[in-house]
Amino acid sequence: MDNPMIIKRPARILILFIAAAGLLAGCPDTDKKTAYYTKAKACYDAQDYVCAEAALKKAVALDPDFAAAYANLGEVYLKLGKVSESLAAYVRAAELAPDQPEVQMKLATLYLLNRDTDRAKTILQAVLASHPENVTANYLMAEFSAIENDYDRSAELFKTIINKDTSQVRAYLNLAAILMRKCQFDEAETVLASAHTHNPSSLHPLIALFNLYTHQKKYDQAENLLKDAMLVNPDRTELHLLLGNLYCTMARPEQSEPEYQKAIALSPKNPEVYLMAANFYNSMGQPDQALAMYQSALALQPDNPGLLMHVARFHLSRQNIAETEKYTEKLLAANPDYLPAQILKGETLIAKTAFDDAISYLSDLIEKNPESSQLYYLKGLSLLKKKELDLAKIEFGKISPDSPEYVNAQLMLAGIFTSENSFVQARESAQAILRQYPDNYEALKVLCNIHLQENQFDPAETCLNRLIDLTPQNPDGYFLMGLLNNRRQNYEAAVANFEAALAKGHTDINVFVNLIAALLKNNLMDEALARCDATLEKLKDQPRAQAVIYDLKGKIYLARNQPQLAEKAFKSAIISHADYLPPYYALAKIYFSEGREESAIQQYETAIGSPAESGKEMPNMMLGVIFSMKKQPGPAELHYRKALAINPEFAPAANNLAYLLAEQDKKLDEALRLAQSAKKLLPDDPRVMDTLGWIYLKLGFYDQAISAFAESIRGLPDNATLHYHLGMAYYKKGDARQAKIALEQALKLSKDFTGADQAREILSELTV
């Protein structure tokens, strides 16, 4: 576990300007000295610390042995941020009043802040030797021991404080923190329960005990604790907020809402309760109610920058850019240098896809705020979205391990390296996170995916078991385990994995696709068909998902040697969602396998010539596919263009025409434009990414091609042609090692894909 959080409060501040015995020394000009001292008090009370500083300086000038003035001058210096001057003033006060433990304690605190631990320790030991029951000294020594990792000594000192004064809540909390660090949760619970018993009016022990219960998932005990406290303090707003949060954690939202409403009724003038309620409604997908809560908070404090930031971020999360900008501009109008609002403006530019503007704006902010890791992260994100990967890596690499953005930056780096098939660097980024946070789910998932990509089956299994153990309710681990078992040809286990992923709520249609594929591998065709029919019924309002499932049904019928039923299923897929590519090719293959391509051509040409005024892009698309398979690029291009003339946003035709042009090495600029248009319309289709990568390859943009092919492979990991294309990109780039890996994987998946002979020829030439 991490180091315990020692709960600190500011070291005890001397009560200024109240005469302290032993600190006022006799001297000439007593009346004048006292006058300056009195003036300093008035200035301090008015928070005019510059005035207080001037008065105290005059007092010590009149009396260089004025210990109280030096002590208070040290405090004023702290208010002014002059730490070194404060230290010097307290050193002088301590010299003049060595028997005053409060002065000595303040000096020890300053030495600790200045990392001069030896001097701090010497002072603390001296004070405790003469005043062993001094509470401040015991606290400081306990905290000092914790800094030195001497947690046993620290715990004993906190126990000493508690034994002498059971009202010392801070000692209980720090002792419990140390026990939790040592995983002594039962002992920590006992300490916190004792603190609560001895200090029933303080919420701090109760909240700490509540947090301990929730950390251990002892939700019933946490609930009972709050309910018992409410019997004594029914009007404590904090208790209702905590109970509302607990019910959210327990997935009992119907009980959460009344608690938030009670908190509002108890503290209608407190904007914090409205914020908590807004967070609840937001998490429940009720944006209108959330917005109403935000507006209620703003009605109380319309110029509160924290509230304005919350509302602006709410609108940004909803992609309400105009509203986000309205609140951001209000913040910046009040304070042009308010960094959180400036950062929000940068995020808004990214959300607007104004990446060049975002990069320029963030670069200016970085010059003024070079210590802000969040700015480097956002600039890296902007560059990543612009596909300027090398520049993005530089920005993410600037973020230090102690930064809050470090984990996300390393995850971004891992994603970039993975997209480039640079698995060594991707692994390093994931492991950098895991060294600090061994249970980081996303980093562990990256590592598991790398093992899968590299066909390291045993390490992948170990990694995935850990992932599942870490979050047994998360479906991702089961899906990935299914992919692993598929590759191991353990199809029965794969079916169980995919079933588990779906049962735990995985919504990606690829899980279902892989489940059906595994059922087919197990020769469970009837079950596969039944699953398709049942899922079609559930997904009536999802046309693309229905197209995928009809396409699967067509493949099952082909496997059962029922081509007529397969043809019907593939046509249903196209009718469901005309932009889904696979059924076009499946239909064409049926026509060719049965020698019906000419009759199919006549059938689609008849459809094109019919009086109907709509829907003619689909028969043109089919003709384009058939002529492409007949190796007749001229007619294929003609029909793809006709389809686009009818419907300029018909992505399948744009994609296929782009690929056809690239295959012929002609009009590559138009091919790129068409592929980019298809990518915009079908951003998640791996076949479109493959087309884009193929054009980049033809244009000589090898890094972009590698990135596109790698993304395509993530969607279709077992497609031999995609691995072949990736291998060709690496080969053209001159990276023989990566080319060999990709081409060998392509041939392992299939021996007869288009380009297989070229892959074998290149492999025979490569010397790695």
> Is residue 705 within 8 Å of residue 387, measured between CB atoms?
no
622-680 pLDDT, tens digit per residue, is 999 999 999 999 999 999 999 999 999 999 999 999 999 999 998 999 999 999 999 99
Distance of CA 376 to the CA centre of its chain: 16
The mean predicted confidence, pLDDT, of the chain is: 89
Residue 616's pLDDT is 79
pLDDT given for residue 615 in this prediction: 66
pTM of the model: 0.71
Q: What distance in Å separates the CA atoms of residue 235 and residue 220, rounded to the nearest whole number?
A: 22
As a whole number of angstroms, the distance between CA 249 and CA 181 comes to: 24
Separation between Cα atoms, residue 743 and residue 766, nearest integer Å: 11
DSSP string, 413-467: HHHHHHHTT-HHHHHHHHHHHHHH-TT-HHHHHHHHHHHHHTT-HHHHHHHHHHH
pLDDT at 658: 94
State both tokens at 376: 């480097």
pLDDT at 147: 74
The Cα–Cα gap between 557 and 563 comes to: 6
Q: Which residues of the chain have pLDDT under 70?
A: 1-30, 610-615, 768
Q: What pLDDT score was predicted for residue 614?
A: 59
pLDDT the model gives residue 14: 42
Rounded Cα distance, 419 and 390, in Å? 12
pLDDT of residue 612: 57
Are the beta carbons of 229 and 196 closer than 8 angstroms?
no
Locus of tokens 């999360």: 317
Distance of CA 484 to the CA centre of its chain: 26
Which pLDDT value is given to residue 206?
93
Say if CB 163 and CB 135 are below 8 A apart.
no
